[in-house]
Amino acid sequence: MTLSAPIAYSRPEPERGDGSGDPAHSTPPDAPMLTLVDEHGARLHDPDLDPWVADIGPDELADLYRDLVVVRRIDAEATALQRQGELALWPPLAGQEAAQIGSARALAASDFAFSSYREHAVAWVRGVEPADLLAVWRGSAPSGWNPYEHGMAVPQIIIGAQTLHATGYAMGLAWDGADAASIAYFGDGATSEGDVNEALVFAASFDAPVVFFCQNNQWAISEPVGLQSKRPLARRADGFGMPGVRVDGNDVLAVLAVTRQALDRARRGGGPTFIEAVTYRMGPHTTADDPTRYRGDDELAAWRRRDPLARVRALLETSGMDVASLDRDVQAAADRAAADLRHAITTLADPAPMTVFDHVYAEPNSHLERQKARYARYLAMFEDGAR
């Protein structure tokens, strides 16, 4: 059983309108977009990228498919939990599964990821328990997990700030002579932030082993990417003196290839790379957002036809794999993950009020002790300790 043979060398031109759907707001198609699996599930050939995914046969592709399905199910369950009042807020990832799974599966255990608030699939790949991912959105924890246990920092809410953290960490790796790299995840809107541009300057100047992974999901809340940039975002790398790569972010195989390539370059001392993964946010920015107020049904329908899950499934069908059986197994795994998540989050105990001071500082100090004493006196005013 093998994958279908590559049918053609292809670097298709990116389509117009990959911003708001309004040509006036779209970026021009002057940067090649790398693709290995097209939206119909056909395997395309690229002599530069193919060696980076030469180890991906049908079984490995099925594993990637399993990841895609499970994280979409977890995301849907989290959205439902928010609608049912179990979470205060949730930023859905639907549509961006391939960009996150492909890039995260390229990471080595020794690498370190710095994310924004939407990289739930990256956290899944790094072994973070979904309940730990949701605890902060329930208000049960100030953050989610021990970063050093998973090689992934907790989500950064400040737009783009994690790019500075990733760059500083990468500079440290270089000084230590470590065979590792960092990766910074951010969105198209973050490319307009000063933090991101400062990180790009430092990373380029010091040849830091960091990969800047921009998920261009077309919308910075309600602002289309065409208003963020008149050129493809990958071209911004030119001005910083680093390679810029534009990849089909709904193609998990192409994302895996370009991220492996960029990480290898970083670990060998080649410096940073900027990857623009062109994808689409199918849901709202967060559960507090109503995307129907700023985008049309036709645009959403067009991107649904490029669904990252459907194209992998279509490719698997051409490999001779029993996809119906695979679907049953994968769906069962996804349902178990969702059920486990629901049980874990709905039975999560509220933290004791005084634990809000835990983990703020590495060591006790008099300022913190005074705050704790005042807060304890305040809580003592309530018979139940304000629980």
- Catalytic sites, residue numbers: 281, 285, 294
What gap in Å lies between CA 166 and CA 185, rounded to an integer?
Answer: 9
Strands of 268-335, DSSP E: 273-278
Residue 278 DSSP code: E
Contacts 24+ apart (CB under 8 A), 127-136: 128/152, 129/344, 130/74, 130/78, 130/337, 130/340, 130/341, 130/344, 131/340, 131/341, 131/344, 131/345, 131/348, 134/78, 134/81, 134/87, 134/90, 134/341, 134/345, 135/345, 135/348
157: Cβ contacts below 8 Å, ≥ 6 apart: 116, 117
Backbone angles phi, psi at 211, to 5 degrees: -110, 125
90: Cβ contacts below 8 Å, ≥ 6 apart: 78, 79, 81, 82, 134, 137, 286, 287
Backbone angles phi, psi at 112, to 5 degrees: -135, 135
What gap in Å lies between CA 264 and CA 275, rounded to an integer?
Answer: 14
Q: For the sheet containing 273-278, what is the strand order?
A: 112-114, 182-187, 210-216, 273-278, 244-248
How buried is 192 (Cβ within 10 angstroms: 0-12 exposed, 13-18 middle, 19+ buried)? middle
